[in-house]
Structure 1
Amino acid sequence: MATDVGGLTATTTGVTVRNLHRSFNRSGGVLNGLDLDIAPGEFVALIGRSGSGKSTLLRALAGLDRDVQGYGRISVPEQVSVVFQDSRLLPWKRLLANVTFGLDGKDAAERGLRALTEVGLAGRESAWPAELSGGQQQRAALARSLVREPQLLLADEPFGALDALTRLQMHELLRKLCAVHRPAVLLVTHDVDEAIVLADRVILLDGGVVATDVRIDLAQRSQADPGFAGLRHQLLDALGATGEHLGSDFIAPGQRRVS
């Protein structure tokens, strides 16, 4: 079921977006009648140039932007969690208290400890956020999101500020966690390689609508597979950035994007 935008409808059938509009000024819309479906348990990566509406769409699905316009509708699962580029840990709370913040139930602490173990932070429950590395802080952010057993995980460039090695470690961790918890995932990223390696589908936004929708075969996720290079070139070409002519909105393997 679904309703007109201005309020989200909870559903158990994944994500449905129809005819979604959003503009911030009179010069044109950021989202212009966007349609999107995400199945339960499906991992979708969202790419596109800056200003194409990636984060705007994510905020609308999270219920953080109620000014979407038009005759569209948004249906999302009842349990939704968001992970941002920075961990957004509360510096005055220790790690376990950060992970379980706002969590109801007598077993909250037990669930929090279990989540910290899942992300490789067992024994650090009493640490302050400032005592953690950037990668550890993002692990804690994942634990805080997954401890609520979300049916939809929204991730807005969660690894964009990490170094190359830590990013690869976080990719592997996210894959394992998603295999266990099975949420639907919408990952916003500027890294085409990251999108291919992690996602079941890669969606490209352009002009405020879905311009490209590509399903990823399991073999293509390996950079050693010939299909990886072809798919990467296809997506970069769709972005208008190929070979040595990568724009500043995109990053090549091993590079870091500076926001």
Structure 2
Amino acid sequence: MATHPGGLTSTEAPAVRVRDLHRSFNRSGGVLEGLDLDVAPGEFVAVLGRSGTGKSTLLRALAGLDRDVDGYGEIEVPVAVSVVFQDSRLLPWKRLLDNVTFGLRAPDADERGRRALAEVGLAGRERAWPYELSGGEAQRASLARSLVREPQLLLADEPFGALDALTRIKMHELLRRLCEVHRPAVLLVTHDVDEAIVLADRIVVLDGGTVQTDVRVELTQRSPVAPGFGELRDFLLGRLGVQEHLGADFIAPGRRRATSATPS
């Protein structure tokens, strides 16, 4: 079967299609300079890049939240899109169930909200106030609020960046499980290379306002000690310009070390 860039088969329409996307904040230059990207239905794509390369700008463009930014290009996304931010953005004057179902117009909204809270491990906390939640619990509630709408596309802008290391590991496990159940296409913006490898089917690196690296994660295990994990991490760090992390013997994925005959 023929395969197109982005993991799409020849008969499959993308969940996200971006062509020649330009975005700029001033006259001196752009943040995105002709970016192209496809994301297949159900595919989990992580976006890496140094600060200022346009990661969050891309996410906001896909979410339709950049109306005051100059630019042009073609963007196609599903009708049902949800966004998860680093800040949970829970409304402090509403209880947890009301936060999760806020804006959801459905006769069974409360029932769906309770199911979503149970999915993220917050069953029984429907009447809690946001100030009563830990940081991890608040992000769980934010995930429940996003997934209760059964989105076809989930956009996540560093949703675990403010959490401690142990809580982040638990949230990674939760997000992977939820995505297996709900199967949205996911675009995750992160600065954490390990997080990208643990979660994503595919990782793209932005530089110069375009996608400079696009690599599929083909690891049987997603543990940092698993075979191939460190090699992929070092490859991505190199693409991010973090050369000091790479040893002299580093070989990029898919490359073989050159051999030379030993003089006799």
TM-score (norm 2): 0.86
| Counterpart residue number, 1:183 | 184
Q: Which residue is 1:112 aligned to?
A: 113
Corresponding residue of 2:89 = 88
**Offset, 1:222:** 2.4
Contact 2:219 2:228 in 1 (8 A): no
Q: Which residue pairs with 2:134 in the alignment? A: 133
**Map of 2:100 onto structure 1:** 99
Please state whether the residue corresponding to 1:77 is helix, strand or coil. coil
**Higher alpha-carbon deviation: 48-57 or 211-220:** 211-220
Larger Rg: 2
Bigger shift: 212-221 or 98-107? Answer: 212-221
C-alpha displacement of 1:223: 1.8
Please list every run of 5 or more consecutive structure 1 residues that lacks an aligned counterpart in the other structure. 1-11, 246-259
Per the alignment, residue 251 of structure 2 pairs with none
1:69 aligned partner: 71
What is the percent sequence identity of the aligned residues?
A: 76
SS for the counterpart of 1:160 is coil
For 2:244 and 2:203, how far apart are their aligned partners in 1? 19
Residues 2-49 of structure 1, C-alpha deviations (whole Å, 9 max, x = no match): xxxxxxxxxx74100000000111221100000000000000000000
The equivalent of 2:144 in structure 1 is 143
> In 1, Cα distance between the equivalents of 2:14 and 2:31?
27
Say which SS state the counterpart of residue 226 (structure 1) adopts: coil
Distance 1:81 1:218 in 2: 28
Cα–Cα, structure 1 residues 82 and 21, in superposed 2: closer, same or farther, change >3 Å? same
| Amino acid of the structure 2 residue aligned with 1:165 | L
Amino acid at match of 2:112: R
Verify the 8 A CA contact 1:44 1:201 in the aligned structure 2.
Answer: yes
1:224 aligns with 2:225: yes
Post-superposition shift, 1:69? 1.8
8 Å Cα contact 1:17/1:35 also seen in 2: yes
Q: How many positions carry a matched residue from both structures?
A: 233
RMSD: 1.3
Instruction: Indicate whether 1:33 and 2:34 are aligned.
Output: yes
CA shift at 1:220, angstroms? Answer: 5.3
**Other structure's SS at 2:127 match:** coil
**C-alpha displacement of 1:152:** 0.2
Does the CA-based 8 Å contact 1:20-1:68 persist in structure 2? no
Taking a change above 3 Å as real, the CA distance of residues 68 and 40 of structure 1, as seen in their structure-2 partners, is farther
